[in-house]
Amino acid sequence: MTASISPLLQSINASPEGLSLGEVLSLHPGVARRTAQRWLQAQVDAGLLSVLGAGRSHRYVAVNTPAQTETSLNNFPVSIPLSTDSREVLAYVQQAVLQRKPVGYQREFLDAYQPNHTWYLPEPLRRQLRNMGETGVGTEPAGTYGRAVLNRLLIDLSWASSHLEGNTYTRLDTRELLEYGRAAEGKAALETQMILNHKAAIELLVDNIATVGFDRYTLFNLHSALAENLLPNPSDEGRLRQHAVEIGKSVYRPLAQAAWVDELFDQLLNKLAQIADPFEQAFFAMVHLPYLQPFADINKRTSRLLANLPLLRANLCPLTFLDVPEAAYSLGILGVYEMTRVELLRDVFVWAYQRSTQEYVALKQDVSQPDPVRLAYRDVIKSSIRQIVQHPQQDALSLIAQTAQTYAKPADQAAVTALIIAELSRIHEGVLARYGLRLSEYAAWKALQDNVF
């Protein structure tokens, strides 16, 4: 293997800026993609190569090249501007674990926060974030923008949030899974499940934007969607933890007593619900939910999706975490865990939101209004599709006609009929959760179809 990989290493060493996997393969077309990935990862594990960037900017760089020296320890990217306070936090959390002082949950951190009086995000920064996130539909009903960009949001946020957890699906893999129901080859079932869970959780927020809130019901169901089939004990899905947890690679020790977790969880939600500014609300969720660790696992994922709730409500651009390096996010969270300081995570948050809005700028310019008929009859359409799939022996067209006549206004019946037929023709296993269907029900229905749809 050493001899075979030498030409790849020579190419990377000759490039001060490093090479992406695609560039490596273009220089060495005789090497299979998976083989190159395996070899390069082995060199990363051995400390001979470093990885810079995330997603499309993922590059392999030889250790001690000029590009490598431009980053700080743990590959914290220089592209994220840091304040003096953030650099102080960064310097501490980058020390070896044995050099950092063990610390437990500091209740005064939450107690001291007074909604709409205490600000993690100063007013000029909140104004800057709002200017970046404006979509032009702020006066429309809550969730209008989120529904307009839902297909894009499902892919971007599912992929980026999963990537921060070490998921190796690519953005293209994620699109194939969510749009066509095709799982990527060679990926662990856990990774596929994680992506699908994100999709279900995002749809939960967008589909129920008028009723979800910063309450136990929303948090429990959001966590349950993200945790489905991923926890060792399924009973931990969607409920507060009943046991102690530990944080890997950290000296922070979360609360162990279940009664205290329960009490502080309610206090956290109460304060979160009172915050008026959507960006302050989003950031507060990203700070305090992981810090409390109310669930057995999947706390950070829950906080990242919850942070989007106030943005979706206000018809602002979502926070997708696109291209956010895992090291930057993790070090920002460590600053909260071990120092109860938010400055480093705040700088990452601001940079991440800027990246998200840049990705969505074209959509902000050209978001068409949702089809008013589809919007008005969303529940009717979904219920009709669920009934058709769950009763495959019945005549689908008759059921559709009956639904339109029963639930739609006379002037809308033709449009509702057309919408149900159109959605039914596009149904696949990657969208079943949207209609409350199980894979077995879809498979039974599909087997009886005779190319009708």
| pLDDT tens, position by position, 321-361 | 999 999 999 999 999 999 999 999 999 999 999 999 988 86
- 237/231 Cα distance (integer angstroms): 7
Relative orientation angle of helices 150-163 and 171-180, to the nearest 10 degrees: 130
Would you say 358 and 101 are in contact if contact means Cβ atoms under 8 Å apart?
no
Would you say 412 and 373 are in contact if contact means Cβ atoms under 8 Å apart?
yes
Q: Between these two residues, 177 and 424, which has the higher pLDDT value?
A: 177
Q: What is the pLDDT of residues 96-130, one digit of tens each?
A: 999 999 999 999 999 999 999 999 999 999 999 99
Average pLDDT over residues 48-69: 62
340 backbone φψ class: left, alpha, beta (φ>0; ψ -120 to 50): left
pTM above 0.85, yes or no: no
pLDDT at 425: 82
Domain 2-70 classified CATH 1.20.1090.10? Answer: no
- 372/381 Cα distance (integer angstroms): 13
For CA atoms 399, 402, 408, 411, the dihedral sign is positive
Q: What is the pLDDT of residues 6-15, one digit of tens each?
A: 778 778 877 7
Domain positions in the chain are: 2-70, 84-365, 372-447
**Topology given in CATH for the domain delimited by 84-365:** Fic-like fold (1.10.3290)
Q: Show the tokens assigned to 188.
A: 């662990």
* Residues 6+ positions from 164 with CB-CB distance below 8 Å: 300, 304, 321, 324, 326, 329
Q: What is the pLDDT of residues 192-212, one digit of tens each?
A: 999 999 999 999 999 999 999
Q: How confident is the model at residue 65 (pLDDT cuts 50, 70, 90)?
A: very low
